[in-house]
Amino acid sequence: KITVQNITVLMPGDASDVKTPATILKVPDHGSDDAIASISNVRPEAVVISVGSGNPYDYPRSGTMNAIEKQGSQLFRTDVNGTIVIAVDGNNWTAKSSR
């Protein structure tokens, strides 16, 4: 968890039941079904999914994607967007990608 004034970025690794509110969430477990509860609990403005293109697990899963859409979070995926850089100034955040 990184907090800069009013912006919190949460990177829970593979923890599947995260409940800490955050502005930006790095989605747990590459977007597996286990990530759904975290998205609902955290209620982030933006989510980042670190996942390889054509992975054998079919991540991110459709249930996870539905939870993100329902939440209304802005979505960034490494398989689609490439490298994602998040910058915060304490009150606002921006995201840039390599693709």
9-25: pLDDT as tens digits: 999 998 878 999 999 99
80's CB contacts (< 8 A; 6+ apart) are 99
Q: Is 21 left (phi over 0), alpha (psi -120 to 50) or beta?
A: beta
User: Residues 21-30: what's their mean pLDDT?
Assistant: 96
pLDDT tens for residues 51-79? 999 999 999 999 999 999 999 999 999 99
User: Cis peptide leading into 60, omega within 30 of 0?
Assistant: yes
Q: What's this model's pTM, rounded to 2 decimal places?
A: 0.94
Average pLDDT over residues 44-53: 97
